[in-house]
Amino acid sequence: MEKKITVIKGDGIGPEIVDEAIKVLNVIAEKYKHTFHYSEVLMGGASIDVHGVPLTNEAIDIAKNSDAVLLGSIGGDTTTSPWYQLDPTLRPEAGLLRIRKELNLFANLRPAYLYDELKGACPLKEEITEGGFDMMIMRELTGGLYFGKRETKTVNGELIAHDNLEYSEGEIRRIAKRGFDIAMKRRKKVTSVDKANVLDSSRLWRKVVNDVAKDYPEVTLEHMLVDNCAMQLVRDPKQFDVILTENMFGDILSDEASMVTGSIGMLSSASLRDDSFGMYEPSHGSAPDIAGKDIANPIATILSAAMMLRYSFDMDEEASAVEKAIEQVLEEGYRTIDIMSDGKKQVTCSKMGDLIVEKI
């Protein structure tokens, strides 16, 4: 297969971790006889330095004409970097918000997976994590409270603020379909999370999700209230396969789920729309404190590249080969500094990439 990949290395550790992911994609291409064409564009601080804006129209066009985007991370030290003296619309993060909008990426997918080998980093009790857990949070990314009308005004001498939470049937249907499609590739269970005992938007959410479920008879659907879900994530994370939820609930729950895995350098993410196109990036930021030292953990980015193979290119076997290689390297005791523990072998960012390539 032949695929066009837009590469955005970004700032901080971005270039280091993306280089390792490309090494891995190259060996996958060689082994499985694919051709990947890479086009590199700038975004974030790197683009501000060269073009004066965090994302150019040319960069967007290149991304639009590719099959997927692989992103490192953007941004600098928010207290010392000159990028943060600029108007908010010209800062690095504005590039990220713009590309998500321009590419219509409405579905955010964040896996939370506990590696047996990294159990020690998990803040939960051992009896809870016994057997590990493996869930996927599917969050609606372009609607709901974060995109509704908002206003702060003075009424009778007192400040009043309001934010509007609105979802249309169509917005819910497209994300629900995405959630069920993902569940079909996994353990075939969807937990739809809402607050249907209080909110009208949640009642519509539940109605549409029930409707979409009819097209997926193999998938078990359950509904859970968001407050209960927050509790269940730390009480028994094993019960979850795909968690399907709206924008704000997903924002909060996905951070909680990633926290219970205990290792930020291991968590990948994907932003998708209703065709196969997607943007793939680690869940963490640009880690300016460790940039340029070759000590960052590249695994989150490599796992994001594996998600790209699975969800944008329909290359399940290739994605599994990457994931298996990572597990083997961890089993053999190799660790970057962020996941290092007694008795393990500490390696650099580039060495970790090499080891994963060797296993593949």
Q: Do 42 and 59 meet the contact criterion of CB atoms below 8 Å apart?
A: yes
Cβ neighbours of 342 (radius 10 Å): 5
Which member of 129, 202, 286, 304 binds ligand NAD (CB under 6 A)?
A: 286
Q: Do 195 and 160 meet the contact criterion of CB atoms below 8 Å apart?
A: no
User: What is d(CA 305, CA 309) in angstroms, rounded to the nearest whole number?
Assistant: 6
What is the footprint of ligand NAD within residues 92-151 (CB under 6 A)?
93, 96
CB of 269 vs ligand NAD, minimal distance in Å: 8
What is the footprint of ligand NAD within residues 1-60 (CB under 6 A)?
13
3-class state of residue 65 by DSSP = coil
Which member of 2, 127, 218, 289 binds ligand NAD (CB under 6 A)?
A: 289
* Residue placing its CB nearer to ligand NAD in the complex, 192 or 304: 304
Q: Name the active-site residue from 49, 200, 211, 255.
A: 255
User: What is d(CA 68, CA 173) in angstroms, rounded to the nearest whole number?
Assistant: 23
Among the residue ranges 230-238, 245-253, 282-290, 304-312, the one whose residues contact ligand NAD (CB under 6 A): 282-290
* Residue placing its CB nearer to ligand NAD in the complex, 219 or 272: 272
Active site residue 354: no
Q: Name the active-site residue from 177, 195, 351, 359.
A: 195
The amino acid sitting at 222 is: E
Q: Name the active-site residue from 251, 280, 311, 334.
A: 251
User: What is d(CA 300, CA 284) in angstroms, rounded to the nearest whole number?
Assistant: 8
CB-based contacts of 217, cutoff 8 Å, min separation 6: none
Which member of 74, 107, 242, 309 binds ligand NAD (CB under 6 A)?
A: 74
What is the footprint of ligand NAD within residues 250-269 (CB under 6 A)?
264-265
CB of 73 vs ligand NAD, minimal distance in Å: 4
User: What is d(CA 338, CA 276) in angstroms, rounded to the nearest whole number?
Assistant: 33
Size of the site for ligand NAD (CB under 6 A): 22
Active site residue 251: yes
* Residue placing its CB nearer to ligand NAD in the complex, 79 or 197: 79
Q: Do 68 and 312 meet the contact criterion of CB atoms below 8 Å apart?
A: yes
User: What is d(CA 136, CA 240) in angstroms, rounded to the nearest whole number?
Assistant: 8
Q: Name the active-site residue from 227, 236, 314, 316.
A: 227
CB of 254 vs ligand NAD, minimal distance in Å: 12
DSSP of 95-155: HHHHHHHHTT--EEEEEEE--GGGGGG--S-HHHHTT--EEEEEEE-SSGGGTS-EEEEEE
* Residue placing its CB nearer to ligand NAD in the complex, 96 or 226: 96
Q: Do 71 and 43 meet the contact criterion of CB atoms below 8 Å apart?
A: yes
Active site residue 146: yes
* Residue placing its CB nearer to ligand NAD in the complex, 181 or 338: 338
Among the residue ranges 73-81, 156-164, 167-175, 340-348, the one whose residues contact ligand NAD (CB under 6 A): 73-81
Establish if 297 lies at the interface with ligand NAD (CB under 6 A): yes
The amino acid sitting at 75 is: G
Active site residue 11: no
CA 291 to chain centre: 21
Establish if 284 lies at the interface with ligand NAD (CB under 6 A): yes
User: What is d(CA 251, CA 249) in angstroms, rounded to the nearest whole number?
Assistant: 6
User: What is d(CA 298, CA 29) in angstroms, rounded to the nearest whole number?
Assistant: 19
From start to end of the chain, where are the E strands? 2-10, 35-40, 68-73, 107-113, 134-140, 150-155, 158-163, 189-194, 220-225, 242-245, 268-272, 278-282, 334-335, 345-346
Q: Which helix (H) or strand (E) holds 322?
A: helix 316-331
Per-residue x/- track, 205-244, ligand NAD (CB under 6 A):
----------------------------------------
Q: Name the active-site residue from 146, 274, 294, 344.
A: 146
Establish if 271 lies at the interface with ligand NAD (CB under 6 A): no
Active site residue 236: no
What is the footprint of ligand NAD within residues 327-356 (CB under 6 A)?
338
User: What is d(CA 140, CA 194) in angstroms, rounded to the nearest whole number?
Assistant: 12
- By CB under 6 A, name the binding residues for ligand NAD: 13, 73-76, 78, 93, 96, 264-265, 281, 284-290, 296-297, 300, 338
Active-site positions? 146, 195, 227, 251, 255
